[in-house]
Amino acid sequence: MTSDTHFRLAAIQAAAVPFDRDASVEKACHLIGEAGAMGATIAAFGETWLPGYPFFCHAPTGPSTFRAMAEYLDNAVEIPSPATDRLCAAAEAAGLDVVIGVAERDAVTKGTVYCTLLFIGREGRLLGRHRKLKPTFNERSVWADGDAAGLRVHERPYGRISGLNCWEHNTMLPGYALAAQGTQIHVAAWPGREPAVAPPSPTPLWPRQLLLSRAFASQAGCYVIAVGGMRSHEITPERYRELSTIEYSGDSVIIDPRGEVIAGPAQGETILIADGSRQAVLAAKALCDIGGHYSRPDLLRLIVDRNPQERVIDCGFAGRVTPEMWE
């Protein structure tokens, strides 16, 4: 269901195939097709869904840790690559936009991984990527810091879309940068709710995954697809089972521009669906547009450097340096 004023949002809650990029891409393409068959306008996956969240960074370090890190790097996704080509083809075939979390391998050094959100258009092309600005806690042993080059809103026929990873929603300023660009549909990508650290509750209101996603929807006046990943000890390869200390149960939700949950929390592998309208976004922003009329730029302003942060800048001359050059 897609028009200039109405759209259908999908949160794809499923487990990837750990340490297997190709099998995970195949599963993602199948799920994208399913979401398309359900009439989705845009479908989102969780944080580094492809090829999975680096659970091993939270376990005590041992010899198998470094083997897992090397295998994770080997299965990370370069952009562009045959893996992203397949995802683009699946999005085009299904007729929907896709936002998917990937472990992105640096195409130059081949030795660095970023926690990246990849934006794919229904035309079958890459719209952009956002690299997580600051990985959280132990994640910093696996993922490098991102830059703000991808901290952008993407204009689509049905609205403006954006996305952030996990605790980027806890740091406020990245979200404000997107709200100030007028985001209307936002993907909040999470690894998934971690039951082991959450107090028992009949309704999972405790995790920041839900609290911060609802806050973003209310503050930015936009829909939020808060999509969590899934992982269990059972799907962990036996060679890394000793490193599997956390499980994620998903708990994906879809939130309206008032901050109200309109679908979910989801349990198990599923595709969560909710319908939205541009009118609901306009009503929320007319009341409170924090990047516009509900701001005080004369008092408070945000400075964003969206230049790619290059590590090596070549300042050499193409030819021989001669004394005449300095005259």
Give 195-257 as a DSSP string. Answer: GGGSPP-SS---SHHHHHHHHHHHHHTSEEEEEE-EE-STTS-GGGGGG----EE---EEE-T
Which CA distances in Å does 46 have to 102, 226, 315, 318? 9, 8, 40, 45
HSE, CB side, 13 Å, CA atoms: give it for residue 195.
Answer: 13
47 is catalytic: yes
Catalytic residue among 57, 92, 132, 285: 132
| Catalytic site residue from 29, 47, 88, 104 | 47
- Specify the amino acid at residue 286: A
**Per annotation, catalytic residue among 29, 88, 115, 166:** 166
Residue 139 Rama label (left phi>0; alpha psi -120 to 50; beta): alpha
Distance of alpha carbon 14 from the chain centroid: 15
Which amino acid belongs to residue 312?
A: V
* Catalytic site includes residue 134: no
Active-site positions read: 47, 132, 166
